[in-house]
Structure 1
């Protein structure tokens, strides 16, 4: 019995964990976390192979030549360089795609939430590099300061899943924002500091191809192949120029456009699919497919294809090729006595821990921002500790910074030691945070912060209905309009057994007329016609200027002068702000967000999904949303 209860609790935790983030970011986290064990396996295999009687075969494998010829033009490199210059360019391309998506429509669109993790990320770059230079001897060894500036996102997230809080979505977002800074700076360092002599002509070709990527995005090209072709030209020109290919991958990824799917595009795709359902002909099917593809940004389509390859093939293959250090012949003893090894360990473990921790808390103290909601100070320090897992980027820079094999091997040993120590330190910090400060979870709230109040909230249906559905909405959000129809279908299904509550979550940064529309519906509510105005506003989302709102008030027979005075004087601003504050306290970050009873709905918000969850809440007796008060007339 207890085992079943524990399993159910774990499943709920995982469900809450995955549902607190946007779909693309959720897929990214799941893929990267899932590949962590494969990375560990590849690393162990590389070490065993390099220290086995077959170590010569291990070394010889990466020296095997491979060429790509198209007509009279070709590119020839050994297998090791194909991995570092080819596959790792794809790795950084995917990172660039994710950064661009987050800057355009994801977690980094709210710049207020970005400042503190970016500032902490700067600390996680400066302090490690300084510690390395303080410990490492001069000469060639001093060139390895770039080894300690990067963080391996895949290992970081995988280790966080193993040693971190049971629910860690907010901490993950904070750490991902840190790694954005790491990745951009690391690629810049690789491209500028660790590149060969520069061929100006090839640089100009790469720049022209980069400009072509910008043009493709500006003119709205939606097919994938033009971006792939131009990105390939950027990569080839970058290799020819003497710059490291990683910079080509990152820059190209950053220039692949991302956007929130528009209502017109989504509705157009639905229309084409309905046409195909009625006329299942090849040309109609092709039109439906094109309409669907056009509605999804090319950035996310590329991520969907490339993320599994990067996580399950490219990064493990890179680890297999670079983590194999032959520790026989006294190398391990020499490495443990080498200042280079301990400079790497100190830079990654102590540098990241102190740099990120001090800059995060210092930035919060001077008002640059605050830790994400649900993340405690101890959890932030635990994340800082895990950021000392450099691995992929560190191993890449080792091969670029040092020409001497002995230095490369000693630095690699340092990276592997840092991986173990950083993971252990993170585990200790997270356990202490949980025991001493009760920091057991680092996710957004999932419970409605304020109970439904019939004297304040706007309710459709019987106030004493056994089931409650609360929606946080924005009148300019195209998918809220869509969800309004969904909510209607749900209400029709349950009849008098359901009360539907609408609360405001205005998003003025993306919907500039949302606050005025919210004020208008509250002004109409003051004259007893909230739901009538509510339906009109969603029916005319593209017409929400003040004169439009006045026209709707006249159409409903309201006192237009009183209505406009209420809107102009912001008489209902406090009510709207309270709703927005309640939404944030309840873990709602976008619109529409639904609560079934008091629990935030996670996953699709189509009618069938909401109906299924409401039925489940009825069976469990958890769907009331703390009903109370008397029935409305």
Structure 2
């Protein structure tokens, strides 16, 4: 009998560190794919096929019912439809970390929250100062968010040299300000509110809450409810991607099937013989029950995040980049004040805001800084928060008119490149391995040094 199959893993920490590590691996790979599609979009938009490429995303897609219809451009379906799933996964990851992961400690979570708040307020202030009361001042929200996928991809370049505490800090910071950014979009860049549609969306959310309280487990019902809520918010004048945030934060973190019940159900299957050939319906029912129990032994938050995260990272975000990163380069846009304000807001405002409010939160006793996360390392990591890209492009599309949108995109792209390069170099320098003293390698006779205390050497392994 193999005892390895009849007990839980010894390390309880695996329940939250493994999902976190998986999230990082997918984000790192997705960042590379995202970069490829962003560069491709930029290249095509500056080629002879530029006009056809840019016009393609304005193609209208929808349904017609007699004299009435419901349609949007292809870019709208991507930016507000598919990106809803992106924010749903972001909200799931935030809730999992807050309830099940390392952000369960309120003072550790407070450090990331304070940093995210500073990383939103300071760059927005820099942008507003530079734009003062001009017509582009309305676009201050462009500089408030950090791109999670690109940030994690940059950390992946440095590998294990980056402290785990910095990875957690930056990931949770990016998630916090992604949520903040979508609230900015929903409330600051919507259209005139339709209160009836807003009431229908609220009713839909109440129904979802009620279904969860009643124990409804059918995912299909929640998908239908989510689509109806999205349609209501889209008609209400609020950015419909808010649907993903709300539903993600409402998703339960508790499992339906306990370990004890799961073991009992599996024992019933193991003692039922070969159910694949048996004609007894009860035995087949036991196998079906085992399948349901195995699935429901994982919380809905973890199950949905695991299922959707690869689709978001490898399909939705690259498609978003391909649809939005296209910009025709011109010298006028390079010299534009909007591009300069966005560049300075990201490259300087972001790290200053992250470091200053983190320091203030710790000094006031509101937050705790992990012992292995020095202020210099935190500041260097803060340089990477100037990578805006995904959310910045999304907000720019909603905030700017067409005559300044190209300049805004150039500011976003240039700031993201500079922030990534400077952040990686700063972290590489801070985490470099010190040169090993020659006395540690050889003794005075020139032969390899051998410890006289083997018991100490053993304890270090």
TM-score range, shorter chain: 0.7 to 0.9
1:334 paired residue number: 332
1:349 paired residue number: 347
Structure 2 segments unaligned to the other structure (5+ residues): 1-12, 277-282, 435-454
Task: Find the residue that maps to 2:119 and give its secondary structure.
Answer: helix
Deviation at 1:335, TM superposition (A): 2.3
Superposed counterparts of 1:269-288, under 5 Å: 269-275=265-271, 278-280=274-276, 282-288=284-290
Does the CA-based 8 Å contact 2:265-2:286 persist in structure 1? no
Does the CA-based 8 Å contact 1:137-1:339 persist in structure 2? no
Q: Is 1:38 aligned with 2:36?
A: no
Which of the residues 288, 311, 316 maps onto 2:318? 316
Q: Is 1:250 aligned with 2:248?
A: no
Which of the residues 92, 107, 125 maps onto 1:112? 107
Structure 1 segments unaligned to the other structure (5+ residues): 1-17, 439-620, 628-633
The structure with more radius of gyration: 1
> CA–CA distance in 1 between the matches of 2:18 and 2:456?
27
Does the CA-based 8 Å contact 2:201-2:230 persist in structure 1? yes
CA displacement 1:153-206 (0-9 Å, x = unmatched)? 011101111146524322111112212320221111111110011111111110
Superposed counterparts of 1:124-523, under 5 Å: 124-163=119-158, 166-259=161-254, 262-275=258-271, 278-280=274-276, 282-327=284-329, 331=330, 333-403=331-401, 405-435=402-432
Task: Find the residue that maps to 2:35 and give its secondary structure.
Answer: helix
Q: From the superposition, tell whether residues 198 and 125 of structure 1 become closer, same or farther in structure 2 (CA, over 3 Å).
A: same
Q: From the superposition, tell whether residues 75 and 23 of structure 1 become closer, same or farther in structure 2 (CA, over 3 Å).
A: farther
TM norm structure 2: 0.85
Deviation at 1:265, TM superposition (A): 4.3
Does the CA-based 8 Å contact 2:155-2:162 persist in structure 1? no
> CA–CA distance in 1 between the matches of 2:98 and 2:68?
38
1:7 paired residue number: none
Deviation at 1:21, TM superposition (A): 5.3
Does the CA-based 8 Å contact 2:84-2:242 persist in structure 1? yes
Deviation at 1:74, TM superposition (A): 6.2
Q: From the superposition, tell whether residues 71 and 222 of structure 1 become closer, same or farther in structure 2 (CA, over 3 Å).
A: farther
Deviation at 1:20, TM superposition (A): 10
Q: From the superposition, tell whether residues 20 and 156 of structure 1 become closer, same or farther in structure 2 (CA, over 3 Å).
A: farther
Task: Find the residue that maps to 1:114 and give its secondary structure.
Answer: helix
Q: From the superposition, tell whether residues 373 and 267 of structure 1 become closer, same or farther in structure 2 (CA, over 3 Å).
A: farther
2:9 paired residue number: none
Higher relative contact order (CA 8 A, sep 6+): 2
Superposed counterparts of 1:586-597, under 5 Å: none
Equivalences, count? 423
Q: From the superposition, tell whether residues 183 and 384 of structure 1 become closer, same or farther in structure 2 (CA, over 3 Å).
A: same
> CA–CA distance in 2 between the matches of 1:72 and 1:622?
84
Task: Find the residue that maps to 2:216 and give its secondary structure.
Answer: coil
CA displacement 1:565-602 (0-9 Å, x = unmatched)? xxxxxxxxxxxxxxxxxxxxxxxxxxxxxxxxxxxxxx
Does the CA-based 8 Å contact 1:164-1:430 persist in structure 2? no
